Amino acid sequence: MKRNGFGAEGLKVGSFKFSGTQKQVLDQEKGISVSSYAVGSGGFSYSQNKESVERGFNRFKDLGVADWQRLQVSQGISRTAESAGFKSKFLSLGYEGSRVQDFERNKGIEKQKVSLDSKNWAFEMGTQAVDSGFNRFEAERGAFGLEAGLKRQSAALTKGIIGKGLNLTYNKSSIDNGVGSFDASDIAVSGKTWALNLGSRGSDKTFNRLGSMQPGEIDSHMRAVAGMYGPNAGLQPADRQAFLGSSGIQRDGASFNTALKGGTLNVNQVKVTGAKDSASIHSANVVGKNLQFSMRKLNTGTAFNEISRLMPYEQQQLGLLSGISRTDLNLAMQMSKGQTFNFSTMSAEKDGTGAGRTNLSYRSQGLEVDYNLRNVDKGFNVMGLVDSQRDMMNSLSGFSQKDSRVKFNALKNIRFEYSASSAYRDATEELRASDALMFSMALDPTLQVDYAKSSQMAKQSTSTLFAANMERVSLSKRFGNQSLSITNEKRDNDGSQNSAHDSNRTTVAIETKLTGNTSFRTEQTRTAFEDGGKEDVNSNSLSTKIAKNVGVSVTDTNIDRGSSDRNEVKRDYGVWFDFGKGIRASYGYVRQLNGDNAGFGSSSVSFGQDANRIAAEQALGGVAGANVNGTMLGFQNGTNTWDEQAGRAQAFSSASLQTTKPFSLGFLKDSKFSLNSYMASDNSRWLREDVTSSFESKVGKYGFGMNYRGQVDQTGSRAVDRTYKLNTDTSGKAPLAASMSYKQRVLPTNQEYAIRDYKVDYKGIKGFTLSNQIQTNPEGPANPNIVLGTQPLAQRRNTWRMDYTASKEFTLGGQFDELIDDAIRSIRRTAGFNLVLNQRSGSPLSFFYGIEQSDLAGNRQDYVRFGLTFEQKASSNQVFSLALTNQGWLNNANSTLANQNDWVGRLNYQWRFK
């Protein structure tokens, strides 16, 4: 191998300064050439760096350079980078260029940039081209790996001061694939109180390389498109997929913002153009101190068929309908303190049909007024609109509808509310109407009058389909410990689709406290129906404390409908015991007779913290445990029976028991116990069973525990977990300690799993610890939808770990891990160590080395990782760090990465300004 080279530094010829190096390494006739030149004079400078690797040179390992692997894969490649600049008092000019050339195939990458910077102006222009068929990316893969066959052009005015307080910026870029292009441009002009922005993004239908852009570049274009519609754009992952499939769509946006006295004005325009037609939005917004006004006009062409290919965010702005014209107006006013007025209207038209709405609202202290108009032509697709009232309007197809509401509560003792609604369909002469009135007045603190009236009606032509009217008057009066309420309710029904009878119902209710601990309530209801039928309800309730901590309640209800087979009898009994500190036991029993042969019975028992009785229709849930001498105890039980289903009984129970303080039992110390269960059955058939229990204790320095969990599903199949745990050192101070967990799982299919987790720790030498952990069939993530809540994984794991701290300045650690996954037939082994020096000095030096070996279904991969990190805190405000890491492949499945090394270097300097 032959080396030659020369170098020059600091040569001067007049005002010119020159430096350069030329190096060449030859292996017989093939070699590597590296050159670097720089020349400068005054404000002018030029430099060039070039590297060329000829194919046939094989002695890369003998070069003695760190990046010999990069040179090895660069055979047949030349790289050239050059830059030029000129600086004067008034401006600076710059040029940067680079070329990566496959000189064997005459294909490559070329990149150029020209820049100009002055006091008021800054301009950049650049080009980049990657030849089609070029595939020798190697080191450039991250930046150019997807760019083959693409040509980029860009021009940007990054600074443009065109007057006092006036700024102009401009940016334009294009990506060309030879048959089409993607173009983007942005123009911004701003003054002290105003700003004008113009933007466009579009591509030819033949451009199919949107996915070749860098992820950050794609995100930038997506944000620019979303920003055309206004601020606060919330993009989602689905928007990215849609954007990448939007070839052939042109988007143009313009916005103008200015500050007004006490407010702002924003005018915005967006146009989306497809192959044959377009869609556009024109909007204006005014925000003042006490006023907000917005106007929005949407038009989509009848031949605009690209809506389904737009980003979902854009679809939320444009809707889903082609050929639509829509106008929105919104006004919000703060009229005075506590007074607001809001107005909004929307009208949409498509193919001669349309929909619209108008909403008015007024709010003041104690008064609310709303008025709404809506109309939807038959055949108009309301669901294609994006509107807050879309679902309501969809139910009004073919109708014109209006509704109003007034609510008054400005006076302390009077409440009033009225609402009315009507909808008319002209084509079928169909009318729907309803109204409701509510009035309440407290004549004095003990006397209140309530009045309510409502009506519903549906007509078609001159025929009444449905009509229902209700009028209710009630009076309530308190007399010391007694209260009286009288209510009369009349209902009138009519219409061919309403079979209910007119009725008149009167209810009288009296409630009184017989003694300080006893209350009584009686309620009598008499209902007379138009057809001569009746329904008389007699209900009486008594509640009393028969002792300081014992109470009972009884309710008896009889419903007389004039026929023994339709009458009902309901009895409800309840008892509660209060043991103090919120500990309570409750019992309830409900008996219901329906006619002569049907009936229902329900009983319940509860014990726990503030435990109340369970209603017959209430789902059984857990009850908070009550603390009984250091033990939390809770219990619920419910039973339902039916007379007409002899022998059928539903039973539910839930129980919990847990010790809150450790207890001793002979030689067993610091013991803990818990039990939780939930069981349900119907007609002797198990619906559910879930039982868990645990016991932990100590014998000397040893700790042990046992856990049980059993589940039964609706088929009667049982699954069980039995877990046994042992810990040889509960203090954490013994030099040698072991912990073992063994779980035996039996599934309903009688399939068994042994879930093991064994660990041994040794720390008999000061500063030194050694541990070994073995696991088999570890449990996966918790999932409440599968039996016993977890799924065992067909894995085996063996982990060794060592840590050694010789002093406060020196630590050493190492680990070996082997994971065998029988489900996918894989083995992975990792081993490594790390060393840290000068840990407390403020300038620690750390080194790590590791190797990983994996085998997946016979495909093997091996690689090593090592790295060096140095950190230095020069002062309280300055931090310097240097890191160098390498990942070297020893072997992979198809040997494409064998002997390849990936080096990463990072230099970081931080200076914090106070």
Helices marked H in 765-859 — which ranges? none
381-406 pLDDT, tens digit per residue, is 999 999 999 999 999 999 999 999 99
Q: How many C-beta atoms lie closer than 10 Å to residue 275's C-beta?
A: 11
Q: pTM of the prediction?
A: 0.61
Whose CA is closest to 400, among 361, 442, 363, 430?
Answer: 430
Higher-pLDDT residue of 688, 795: 795
User: What residues does each domain of the chain span?
Assistant: 1-75, 668-911
Which pLDDT value is given to residue 584? 87
Which pLDDT value is given to residue 202? 96
| Percentage with pLDDT > 70 across the chain | 95
Q: With contact defined as beta carbons under 8 Å apart, do 819 and 807 qualify? A: no
Inform me whether the pLDDT recorded for 616 exceeds 70.
Answer: no
Q: What is the mean pLDDT of the chain?
A: 89
Inform me whether the pLDDT recorded for 913 exceeds 80.
Answer: no
Q: With contact defined as beta carbons under 8 Å apart, do 174 and 152 qualify? A: yes
Distance CA 862, CA 852 (A): 6
Which pLDDT value is given to residue 620? 52
Give just the sign of the alpha carbon dihedral 305, 310, 312, 313.
negative
Whose CA is closest to 383, among 373, 396, 372?
Answer: 396
Inform me whether the pLDDT recorded for 419 exceeds 70.
Answer: yes
471-497 pLDDT, tens digit per residue, is 999 999 999 889 999 999 999 999 999
Highest mean pLDDT: which range of 168-177, 654-663, 805-814: 168-177
**Residue 780: CB partners within 8 Å, gap ≥ 6?**
790, 791, 792, 793
The distance from CA 524 to its chain's CA centroid, rounded to whole angstroms, is 54
Inform me whether the pLDDT recorded for 30 exceeds 80.
Answer: yes
510-522 pLDDT, tens digit per residue, is 999 998 889 999 9
Which pLDDT value is given to residue 139? 57
Distance CA 770, CA 844 (A): 24
307-343 pLDDT, tens digit per residue, is 999 999 999 999 999 999 999 999 999 988 889 999 9
Class assignment of domain 668-911? mainly beta
Inform me whether the pLDDT recorded for 503 exceeds 70.
Answer: yes
Which pLDDT value is given to residue 894? 56
Number of H helices, E strands in the chain: 6, 51
Which pLDDT value is given to residue 897? 57
Which pLDDT value is given to residue 5? 82
Distance CA 706, CA 693 (A): 8
Q: Number of C-alpha atoms within 13 angstroms, CB side, residue 818?
A: 9
Give phi and psi for 721, each to the nearest 5: -115, 130
158-180 pLDDT, tens digit per residue, is 888 888 889 999 999 999 999 99
Three-state helix/strand/coil letters over 443-511: EECCEEEEEEEEEEEEEECCEEEEEEEEEEEEEEEEECCEEEEEEEEEEEEECCCCCCCCEEEEEEEEE
Query: pLDDT band at 525, cuts 50/70/90?
Result: very high
Give just the sign of the alpha carbon dihedral 829, 835, 839, 843.
negative
Average pLDDT over residues 712-718: 79
Q: Report the range of poorest mean pLDDT among 85-94, 541-550, 711-720, 746-755.
A: 711-720
Higher-pLDDT residue of 67, 452: 452
Query: pLDDT band at 53, cuts 50/70/90?
Result: confident
Which pLDDT value is given to residue 140? 59
Higher-pLDDT residue of 565, 813: 813
59-118 pLDDT, tens digit per residue, is 777 676 766 777 777 788 889 999 999 999 889 999 999 998 888 888 888 999 999 999
811-860 pLDDT, tens digit per residue, is 999 999 999 988 878 898 999 999 988 877 778 889 999 998 888 767 77
Average pLDDT over residues 678-703: 88
Inform me whether the pLDDT recorded for 804 exceeds 60.
Answer: yes
Give phi and psi for 62, each to the nearest 5: -85, 0
Give just the sign of the alpha carbon dihedral 364, 368, 373, 374.
positive
Average pLDDT over residues 267-294: 95
